[in-house]
Amino acid sequence: MSFKETSTNVTVVIPIEEIPDIEIRLAAIWRDKTIVSQTFFQTISGIPVKSKIPQLLTNMQISNNQFLICWQSDPPSIVGNYNIEVLNRTDDTVINSFETNSQCHLFQPPILDDSEYPINLKVYISENREETEEGKLTVIEIKDKLEINVTLEKRNEIPTPENATFIFTNGTSILKLADLNDFLMLGDLDIIPFSLNENQRITESKKHCKSLATLSKNQLIVGLSDGSIYSLKVLPPPPMDDETIIDLAFNETTQNLNPKFKTEQSIIRESDGIEIIQLVIDGIQERIYAVRNQSGLIRCSFSNCQNATILTTNSISYIERIAVDSWNGFLYYSTANGDIFIATLFPWQSPSTYSFNIQRRIAQIPQINSMEIDYENLQLIAALKNGTLISMNLINQTVTNLRQNLGEMEKYNSVKKQKFIDGRLFWISSECGDDHEWKNCLFGEEKDPDSGNIHLNRKLLKNSSPELYLYPGPVYDIAVLQDLPNPTYLMPPEKVSLIISGKEAKATWLPPISLPFQASGTTWRNLKYDFKLIESSTSTVLDHSQTFETEAFLNAKITKATNYTIFVKVCFEKIGDEMFRFCSKQISTSVMTPGLFSNIPTFPSVVAYIPNENDNDSLKMIDILGRNFEDGSCKFYSINYS
């Protein structure tokens, strides 16, 4: 608030429940000039009464049958446990109830068929407080519960398996598996053309075989044994006339000379002699993370490595494999002994060298062989060294055995690379048997078409038929050629303000807050802000634009006394074969210009004097919109009074 006062004393009433601290600035007005003092900070004495009800942080639908709710307690819950109830909003029947020590939960109510949409639910959240009186727990009443109404709408989601192409490499070629259920390899394998020099090989070594990653359903990234990285675009097949179709159908030689796929390749990174053993894509940063054999990480753009970032680390145990959670800002990495650690992703705009500020070992996960992020179910999936397949929930970090019903002898042994698709795991193992010289083999889980039960390929069991490899030969890497998963949740800007000075306006806002399970800050995200200024009475759009900054001078002249509203939302954009744009909800604020606005032909300049960062002996003059005056700084001198 701002006001005029002729006396030197004033009493101001403010809502201390929301504002424990205030900022005060004094202004002296003389003729057409206003001089503003520096800012004084004052803490309001006394402790405001806080509500016992958890406060809603966000409620958003993630998919057709998933919704995410996050909340917070002020003050934080001493016990840290919360009671959750999910009810049918129509008849208030309880669908599920449980306890959690997390402040976020991913709900997955059972969905029967499309006719049930929209699905209306009600969620109650309350603290499990241990306030006792004569040995009895306090009864939690409805008034102490956070009530949230949830409506799930039907979304046109594209099933992943129908739009995925499973590919793998034998070290010299990239091959396409026509059918994920073709365990006997009865169908033909299509070759995706890729040119190699004599000294190059798609990464192969004794311990590592990871060098394929996909940007989209039509583009993949290939890492080679000499350290080079290539982009490979898979082009749609050209139209063929009837004569060519007949020739391909009856002439096997012609089929081999005319592959089904056409490709274009370009180099992203030149060779340096250090093998690329794994590639992982961050779709939000639009960056490639590459693991170099016993030489750390390097991050490049999708087009080149000219402004690459290299991870510097003092760890004796080198990074062997990684998983990137680009939605939540974390990089998971494991060392040679299988210990898994978590750190914040590289900043989007980072220098040429970077080191982790904070990293910690994930103690609840035993030593692993391989891992990946499953965005569909928001989980980290890892194959352990003991042969178990586990998942860690990205929301509350709970760890679950994904295959509890497997037989005692069914294990995921010596996994080198894995890919989880349509609820099934495909993996490369170094245990290929003694009847050949293969160092790495491709396996896949089998799903019973009737019961849907998962069991392992019989080749993995002792005394079983040896014929059921997915590919009769060595395999060094696997990937799924499909579009990168797009984020399904994004918080809006935390706050927004609109400043009007004369006939000019400026909007400022704070970046979105991180959810409790996300990395703090926003440096790890490549975000764009969409802002729109309207004249409220007529809904006329005066300015609409986008920026990467957290402020904008508006390209609109404020010409009359009325109400103006600024709307701001956060967006994530991806430019590829198809443009994708996902935005948060928008927040807004309004400013009513004074009634005498239109009667003032010119407006006095409001001058603020602030310390000059470049000169300690001077003050810098800025206007109320934060712009420097052209005459620069104003010298000040100390005066001694006798």
Residue 525 has pLDDT above 70, yes or no: yes
Nearest C-alpha neighbor of 466 from the set 432, 426, 490, 439: 432
Per the structure block, which two tokens stand in for 1?
A: 């608030």
- For all residues of the chain together, what is the average pLDDT? 79
Least confident of 79-93, 427-441, 584-598, 625-639: 625-639
Tally of CA atoms within 13 A in the half-sphere of 400 that contains its CB: 13
Are 263 and 193 contacting, i.e. CB atoms less than 8 angstroms apart?
Answer: yes
pLDDT of amino acid 163: 57
Per-residue model confidence as pLDDT tens digits over 393-417:
999 999 999 988 877 778 888 899 9
pLDDT of amino acid 132: 45
Are 471 and 478 contacting, i.e. CB atoms less than 8 angstroms apart?
Answer: no
State the Cα–Cα distance between residues 299 and 308, nearest whole angstrom. Answer: 5
Question: What is 161-481's CATH superfamily?
Answer: TolB, C-terminal domain (2.120.10.30)
Element (H, E) at 232: strand 229-235
Which residue(s) pair with 234 in the sheet? 263
Q: Which residues of 194-222 are buried (b: 16+ CB within 10 A; e: fewer)?
A: bebeeeebbbbeeebbbbbbbbbbbbbbb
Q: How confident is the model at residue 632 (pLDDT cuts 50, 70, 90)?
A: very low
Residue 302 has pLDDT above 90, yes or no: yes
- Is there a common fold for 55-152 and 161-481? no
Per-residue model confidence as pLDDT tens digits over 50-87:
567 888 999 988 888 889 999 988 655 555 689 999 99
pTM of the model: 0.81
Phi, psi of 118, rounded to the nearest 5 degrees: -75, 150
Per the structure block, which two tokens stand in for 261?
A: 């796929």
Let me know the angle formed at the C-alpha of 277 by 273 and 278, rounded to the nearest 5 degrees.
Answer: 130
Average of pLDDT values for 116-143? 68
State the Cα–Cα distance between residues 383 and 390, nearest whole angstrom. Answer: 7
Average of pLDDT values for 168-184? 75
Domain ranges of the chain: 55-152, 161-481, 496-599
Are 497 and 589 contacting, i.e. CB atoms less than 8 angstroms apart?
Answer: yes
Nearest C-alpha neighbor of 118 from the set 137, 141, 90, 98: 90
The topology under which CATH files domain 55-152 is Immunoglobulin-like (2.60.40)
Q: How confident is the model at residue 421 (pLDDT cuts 50, 70, 90)?
A: confident
CB contact set of 579 (below 8 Å; sequence gap of 6+)? 573
Nearest C-alpha neighbor of 310 from the set 329, 323, 297: 297
Question: How many of the other CB atoms lie within 10 Å of CB of 249?
Answer: 10
pLDDT of amino acid 386: 92
Nearest C-alpha neighbor of 636 from the set 611, 608, 607, 606: 611
Class of the CATH domain delimited by 496-599: mainly beta
State the Cα–Cα distance between residues 382 and 193, nearest whole angstrom. Answer: 31
Which residue(s) pair with 323 in the sheet? 332
Least confident of 169-173, 227-231, 367-371, 392-396: 169-173
Per-residue model confidence as pLDDT tens digits over 431-474:
877 766 777 888 888 777 777 777 776 554 443 333 355 677 78
Q: Is 599 helix (H, G, I), strand (E, B) or coil?
A: helix
Q: Is 120 helix (H, G, I), strand (E, B) or coil?
A: strand
